[in-house]
Amino acid sequence: MTVVHPHGLSAPTLTDAEIAGIAASFVDARRGATALADFPGPLPADLATAYAIQAAAIAGWGDEVAGWKVARVPPALEERLGAMRYIGPVFARGIRRFDGGDLSFPVIPGGFGAVEAEFAVQVAADAPADKLDYSPAEAGAFIGAVHAAIEVAGGPLAPVNDLGPTAATSVFGNNTALIVGERVPTDDEGGGTAGADALRAEVLIDGQSVGVGSTAKLPGGIAAALAVALGTAARVGRPLKAGQWVSTGALTGVHAIAIGQSARVCFTGFAPMSGIAVAAMPAE
Ligand SMILES: C=C/C=C(\O)C(=O)O
């Protein structure tokens, strides 16, 4: 497996052989839809090493990166990791448009699966490769549209959430899929987020409410999350492209879901998005 050191980050603290071995384990497990009971090598101590593993796994997976998920670093770990958020790839084959019908949420048996109510931004313009830091105001210029969305989080690594953000970043960012729902109207049909900020989201699992929330749960709001995606994607050598999607973080929490359970994700005034968690199939 090819290992490259992302040019915009500090040098990884694991060897190239360790990075390649861990990435290969993640690619094999995802391809075979088989679970991993533990991290398949030394757990990275820092996000730069986790991104090097993620980059090798992306290269080994072989699908187009069509967007990124942005996730929170738990506040207690922010200082040690030097970040409030991390990102992970959303692959082209993992993006689905909600058409009003029943959904399915793939979960690897024995792995980890979760659903999250999120807003997904469609990127308005190609980002420059050499700009590595963005303010939320600068990021706002890249917002083409905002849609209600569901992140299907998870993957093969069962204890991913206990192991923390370096594990989640390494294992494809702990993302399985992104379901893009209705577009949120804005006054100018451009890049404003006021329409999204006014909405409330709720997630129900097996008919029971497990969380309510809004963009008030996103520190700095949608534009701040997008700023992290813009900067970090450039740092790992994959600057955002027009048309890509960025899911901007959990509005109501990370809601674990087991195969056979149902989830319903509701945004104020929008048609609910409902589906069942199903066993992920091995990739062809
Ligand atoms: C399991 C993933 C976590 C997120 O997606 C988040 O914090 O938004």
pLDDT computed for residue 191 by the predictor = 63
Q: Is the CB of 178 under 6 A from ligand 1?
A: no
Residue range 14-25: average pLDDT? 98
Atom 6 of ligand 1 has which residue's CA nearest to it?
71
pLDDT computed for residue 51 by the predictor = 98
Residue range 25-35: average pLDDT? 98
Q: In angstroms, what is the span from residue 239 Cα to ligand 1's centroid?
A: 21
- Token pair of 58 as six digits: 């992306």
pLDDT tens, residue by residue, 157-169: 999 999 999 999 9
Q: Is the CB of 160 under 6 A from ligand 1?
A: no
Q: Is the CB of 18 under 6 A from ligand 1?
A: no
Atom 1 of ligand 1 has which residue's CA nearest to it?
153
Q: Is the CB of 72 under 6 A from ligand 1?
A: yes
* Alpha-helical segments (H) within 91-151: 136-140
Could you give the CA distance from residue 177 to residue 137 in angstroms, rounded to a whole number? 28
pLDDT computed for residue 88 by the predictor = 98
Q: Is the pLDDT of residue 155 over 70?
A: yes
Count CB-CB contacts under 10 A for residue 276: 14
pLDDT tens, residue by residue, 191-220: 678 999 999 999 999 999 999 999 999 999
pLDDT tens, residue by residue, 115-147: 999 999 999 999 999 999 999 999 999 999 999
Q: Is the pLDDT of residue 4 over 90?
A: no
Q: pLDDT-derived band of residue 252, with 50, 70 and 90 as boundaries? A: very high
Check: CB of residue 245 under 8 Å from CB of residue 66: yes
Mean of the per-residue pLDDT values for the chain? 96
Q: Is the CB of 154 under 6 A from ligand 1?
A: no
**CA angle (245, 197, 252) in 5-degree steps:** 75
Phi, psi at residue 39, to the nearest 5°? -65, 130
pLDDT tens, residue by residue, 44-99: 999 999 999 999 999 999 999 999 999 999 999 999 999 999 999 999 999 999 99
Helices and strands in the chain: count of H runs, count of E runs: 8, 13
Check: CB of residue 186 under 8 Å from CB of residue 195: yes
Domains of the chain (ranges, CATH numbers): 65-279 (3.90.850.10)
Q: For the whole model, what pTM was predicted?
A: 0.96
Q: What is the ipTM of this complex?
A: 0.93
Phi, psi at residue 47, to the nearest 5°? -75, -30
Q: pLDDT-derived band of residue 188, with 50, 70 and 90 as boundaries? A: low
